[in-house]
Structure 1
Amino acid sequence: MKWFLQRVLAAIAAVLAVALGAALLVRVQYNGEPASWAVSDGSNALWMGHAWVDGRYGQKELSRLKPRIVKGGISDVYVHVGPLETDGRLDPAKHPELDGFLRMFREELPDVRVSAWVGQRVEEGDLDLGDEAVRERVVEASAGMIDAGLDGVHYNFEPVPNNDPDLIELLELTRDRLPEDALLSSAVPTVEPLGGLAFTLGLLTPKDPFWSGGYLERVAEHLDQVAVMSYDTGMPTEGLYGGFVVRQTQVALDAVPEDVQLLMGVPAYPDDHVARNPEAETAAAAVRGIRLGLSDGRERRERFGTAVYADFSATDRQWRAYLDGWARPGAGPGQQQGRGG
């Protein structure tokens, strides 16, 4: 018994040491200044809420959002059309105004791609991606969105465990069934800031807190676009959060193949809960962290941008932080970056 207790205490001490080392690593990452070239090239995305396809939003709301899309260099939007039913089906009654939204949006912003944001909770009692019939229905729903005129499908299943084979099978099946020119993208969770941390913490916690870089690479190989949800991190201070985003950006740049577009998430919502301190997880800290992480690569990677979450919750202050910090940092009149900016 004494031997067992000693082993347990040693394991806990080792985990604490790793956690402390990781905290020190991420905090120091937030120092310095980003490179002048580490800014938007007009390849960014925006998550858009359900109100656009259920009739609550229309031309008035789009007129307010359009300048932000243009100035923000946003080339892709993910419009929430679900959620899926627990058996994988997508009820058309959940997006009755989809056709009208697409006509309106494309008339105003013809160069911006529109993908169907498709997802559901993946937990016991909810959607089971391990069920072959469920996966088939998810893919059928996704193909239906392309048939309805959307440019692509954006998956968002949470939580997906590290090294989960079911998501890989779903992506393979989706890629096989969608038209070749359809965009396939997915939101993914945060990645281990230190190699081996996902495995170590996975032994001690009931749910994987991170994906490994290796699993992110495997997932990305089946996609055109990956959006890392670099928020809800539990970081208590802005410095730690900013450093965490720097490290997330560095790890994701290494893991995601260069022919796959990599987007780093920017939080623009008010939620305050155990996994998020809104005073720490600011849009300003996120974009500075992304720029610092990108700067570490010594040159601008193509097919790299940000993804803002979300249109329905972003405040004027958060939009300003995004525009001034990423889309057009230091730009004066006539020098703004981004699409039409």
Structure 2
Amino acid sequence: MKWFLQRVLAAVAAVLVVALGAALLVRLQYTGEPASWAVSNQTNALWMGHAWVDGRYGERELAELKPRITEGGISDVYVHVGPLDYDGRLDPAKHPELEGFLRMFRRELPDVRVSAWVGQRVEEGELDLGDEATRTRVIEAAAGLVDAGFDGVHYNFEPVPNNDPGLLALLESTREELGEEVLLSSAVPTVEPLGGLAFTLGLLASKDPFWSSGYLGRVAEHLDQVAVMSYDTGMPTEGMYGGFVVRQTQVAMDAVPPDVRLLMGVPAYPDDHAARNPEAETTAAATRAIRIGLSEGGRRRDEFGTALYADFSATRGQWEAYLDGWVGPGGGEDG
């Protein structure tokens, strides 16, 4: 029995040493100063809430948001129009003011592309991307939104397992249906910080904590834009969160083809839960980390920007932190 306990304690100690070493390596990523050229080139995105298409928001709210979109170099917005029903259908009753919103938005911001943000949970008992009939209905919904006047479709299905074939089949069929001229984008989860980690953790965990970089690359091949949701990471401190986002940026740049726009997600919301410490995951930390990760590449990637989440939750301080930290770096703070 004593021998067994010694072995268990030794194994636990080894795991702790590895974990502490990994934490230190993550923290060290968030050091140094980003290059002066690692800033916005006015190709950023913004997730916009459902209130724009259900009648709660209108002219007054857009007048308030418009200068932020302009100052923030926002070239694309993703407007929530769903969610989808569990069989893949999209009920038009969920977006009764869609046409009015599009007319208003195009009048005020004609140079900003507008994509329909379409998604649903894909856990057991909910939307099944592995079902061909379900995928067909999702694509029918996407095509209807483009016909209604959207420039493109932005998919956001969560959680999608690593190496899931259903999502790949959906993206391939969506592209075939909508054609090359329609903008196709998707939000994606965080990616393994080290090669092989997604596979290893997938053997131990009931749900995949990361996508592999290889799977991200295969998904990106079907898209015009990829938005990495680099938040809700569970990192306990700002330094560790910053280091994690630096590494996410580096891995994603390697995985996503250079002709596909890579957008790194920036948190701008107050949520405090098990997967997010709002004092660690700040807007300022995210933008600085993205700049450091971009700098590590040694040169400016043309198809690169950030995606801010979200218009309905960002405080004035978070918008200032975003503008100071990414659009015109100068050290803004959250608030």
The corresponding residue for 1:122 is 122
The corresponding residue for 1:272 is 272
Q: Does 1:235 align with 2:235?
A: yes
Q: State the one-letter code of the partner of 1:271.
A: D
Q: Does 1:50 align with 2:71?
A: no
Whole-angstrom CA distance in 2 between matches of 1:95 and 1:37:
41
Q: State the one-letter code of the partner of 1:77.
A: V
Whole-angstrom CA distance in 1 between matches of 2:131 and 2:5:
40
Give the count of matched residue pairs: 331
Whole-angstrom CA distance in 1 between matches of 2:323 and 2:159:
30
What stretches of structure 2 of length at least 5 have no aligned partner?
none
The corresponding residue for 1:291 is 291
Cα 1:17–1:201 shift into 2, 3 Å: farther
Q: Does 1:185 align with 2:185?
A: yes
- Report SS of the residue matched to 2:311: coil
Q: Does 1:165 align with 2:142?
A: no
Q: Does 1:141 align with 2:160?
A: no
Cα 1:2–1:44 shift into 2, 3 Å: farther
What TM-score do you get using the length of structure 1 for normalisation?
0.93
The corresponding residue for 1:78 is 78
The corresponding residue for 2:94 is 94
Per-residue CA deviation, residues 72-100 of structure 1 (Å, 9 max, x unaligned), is 00000000000000000000000010000
Instruction: Please tell me whether the aligned partners of residues 22 and 193 of structure 1 are also in contact (alpha carbons under 8 angstroms).
Output: no
Whole-angstrom CA distance in 2 between matches of 1:31 and 1:44:
24
Cα 1:11–1:176 shift into 2, 3 Å: farther
Whole-angstrom CA distance in 1 between matches of 2:119 and 2:14:
37
Q: State the one-letter code of the partner of 1:48.
A: M
Q: State the one-letter code of the partner of 1:105.
A: F
Cα 1:146–1:9 shift into 2, 3 Å: farther
Residue 18 of structure 1 deviates from its aligned partner by 4.5
Residue 180 of structure 1 deviates from its aligned partner by 2.1
Per-residue CA deviation, residues 172-226 of structure 1 (Å, 9 max, x unaligned), is 1101100321000000000111111111111111001111111110110110000
Out of 7-16 and 160-169, give the one that drifted further.
Answer: 7-16
Per-residue CA deviation, residues 21-71 of structure 1 (Å, 9 max, x unaligned), is 332221001111000000000000000000000000000000000000000
* Percent identity between the two aligned chains: 82
The corresponding residue for 2:314 is 314
Whole-angstrom CA distance in 2 between matches of 1:19 and 1:186:
32
Residue 5 of structure 1 deviates from its aligned partner by 9.7
Q: State the one-letter code of the partner of 1:326.
A: W
Cα 1:28–1:84 shift into 2, 3 Å: same
Residue 4 of structure 1 deviates from its aligned partner by 11
Question: Higher relative CO (CA 8 A, sep ≥ 6), structure 1 or 2?
Answer: 1
Residue 281 of structure 1 deviates from its aligned partner by 0.3
Residue 19 of structure 1 deviates from its aligned partner by 3.5
Structure 1 residue runs of 4 or more that deviate by more than 6 Å after TM superposition: 1-14
What stretches of structure 1 of length at least 5 have no aligned partner?
332-341
- Report SS of the residue matched to 2:186: strand
